[in-house]
């Protein structure tokens, strides 16, 4: 087992614990187990009657974290499935708090065999679960340049997305073997030849845009959050940490549908639904950001935003 620090440092840990309002007999779900940093801290605060349900679609995360959390075995149930399955795995009105720490773990990025790195000879992969069907390579080989361009601008707000998409598809057509990080990098450098450009920053966005499609990240988030509202008890808390604007927007938009009293179509002049449909309220008006101290210790935290909702 690798040491805990090298797998993933939990982000906004104290803030997550505070807003989950953990009590010893409570029942919680960590939908993004990863290295188990948040789960460990939640489990430490539970008594013998408390329970924790841990989800991750990555079998490596489940294996690693289940060893790390072995001391809390009696309290924890592991769910090695995508978090879109939350509502199928957990009863309605069952949970006192649910945590999402979205995106990928440091381990997934750092382990070159996972195919998330910008360097090396490992084929581009980007699957959170390598047993799932389509890797980034497979996905890139079947998409058109027009659709790839849309993915770049919608998922990562990339400049020159059209040129980038066309050159990348042209390049891929010439590759009969695996697509390697240097293939992507050479295309990015050809589209952004200015040496002063932050090529790694652009590569990060290119990878993010492709990764979001390969793992169907936005539809996963939307489906799971809808299920989370149903799985929460009245008075329960939903804590969501996102890492970029597209992810954060998806969280805000999905949740806003549950913050409205009236669900009538906009064109109706008078409310006919009874106006009592509101299920959530924001617990904090603005998202909570990591402190400068946390960012200095863990640069991965720099783009994190934590939102909190309460079921009413």
What's the chain's Rg over C-alpha atoms?
Answer: 21
d(CA 83, CA 91): 14
Give the nearer residue to ligand SAM in terms of CB position, either 98 or 128: 128
Q: Are strands 76-79 and 280-282 parallel, antiparallel or unpaired?
A: unpaired
Q: What are phi and psi of 295, to 5 degrees?
A: -65, -35
CB of 174 to ligand SAM, least distance (A): 32
d(CA 160, CA 192): 9
| Residue among 231, 294, 239, 290 at smallest CA distance from 18 | 239
Strand blocks (E) in the chain: 27-30, 51-55, 76-79, 95-101, 232-242, 280-282, 305-311
Task: Using CB under 6 A, list all residues that contact ligand SAM.
Answer: 8, 10, 32, 34-38, 55-58, 61, 82-83, 101, 103-105, 128, 220
d(CA 242, CA 25): 28
Give the nearer residue to ligand SAM in terms of CB position, either 78 or 83: 83
Task: Kindly tell me the sign of the dihedral angle through the C-alpha atoms of 164, 170, 171, 175.
Answer: positive
CB of 212 to ligand SAM, least distance (A): 10
CB of 115 to ligand SAM, least distance (A): 14
Give the nearer residue to ligand SAM in terms of CB position, either 105 or 254: 105
Give the nearer residue to ligand SAM in terms of CB position, either 137 or 220: 220
CB of 4 to ligand SAM, least distance (A): 9
Give the nearer residue to ligand SAM in terms of CB position, either 102 or 188: 102
Give the nearer residue to ligand SAM in terms of CB position, either 128 or 169: 128
Which residue in the shown chain puts its C-beta closest to ligand SAM?
34
CB of 205 to ligand SAM, least distance (A): 18
CB of 247 to ligand SAM, least distance (A): 10
Which residues, at least 6 apart from 132, have a Cβ–Cβ distance to it below 8 Å?
Answer: 57
Give the nearer residue to ligand SAM in terms of CB position, either 180 or 241: 241
- Strand 27-30: give its sheet, edge to edge: 76-79, 51-55, 27-30, 95-101, 232-242, 305-311, 280-282
CA distances to 27, 55, 71, 139, 284 from 241, in Å: 20, 15, 26, 27, 13
CB of 68 to ligand SAM, least distance (A): 9
């Amino acid at each position: 087992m690798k040491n805990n620090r090298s797998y993933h440092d939990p982000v906004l840990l104290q803030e997550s614990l505070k807003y989950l309002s953990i009590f010893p007999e409570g029942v919680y779900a960590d939908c993004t187990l990863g290295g188990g940093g948040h789960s460990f801290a939640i489990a430490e605060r539970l008594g013998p009657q408390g329970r924790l349900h841990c989800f991750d679609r990555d079998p490596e995360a489940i294996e690693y974290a289940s060893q790390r959390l072995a001391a809390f075995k009696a309290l924890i149930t592991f769910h090695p499935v995508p978090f879109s399955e939350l509502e199928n795995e957990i009863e309605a009105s069952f949970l006192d708090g649910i945590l999402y720490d979205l995106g990928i773990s440091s381990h997934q990025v750092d382990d070159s065999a996972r195919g998330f790195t910008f360097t090396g000879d490992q084929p581009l992969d980007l699957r959170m679960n390598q047993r799932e069907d389509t890797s980034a390579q497979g996905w890139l080989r079947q998409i058109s340049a027009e659709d790839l361009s849309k993915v770049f601008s919608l998922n990562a707000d990339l400049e020159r997305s059209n040129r980038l998409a066309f050159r990348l598809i042209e390049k891929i057509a010439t590759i009969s073997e695996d697509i390697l990080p240097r293939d992507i990098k050479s295309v990015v450098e050809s589209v952004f030849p200015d040496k002063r450009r932050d090529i790694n920053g652009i590569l990060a966005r290119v990878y993010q845009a492709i990764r979001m499609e390969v793992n169907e990240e936005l539809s996963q988030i939307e489906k799971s959050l809808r299920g989370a509202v149903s799985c929460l008890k009245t008075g329960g808390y939903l804590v969501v940490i996102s890492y970029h604007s597209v992810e954060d927007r998806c969280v805000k938009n999905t949740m806003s549908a549950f913050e409205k009293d009236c669900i009538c179509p906009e064109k109706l002049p008078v409310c006919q639904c009874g106006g009592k449909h509101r299920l959530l309220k924001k617990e904090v008006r603005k998202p909570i950001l990591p402190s400068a101290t946390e960012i200095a210790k863990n640069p991965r935290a720099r783009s994190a935003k934590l939102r909190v909702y309460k079921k009413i």
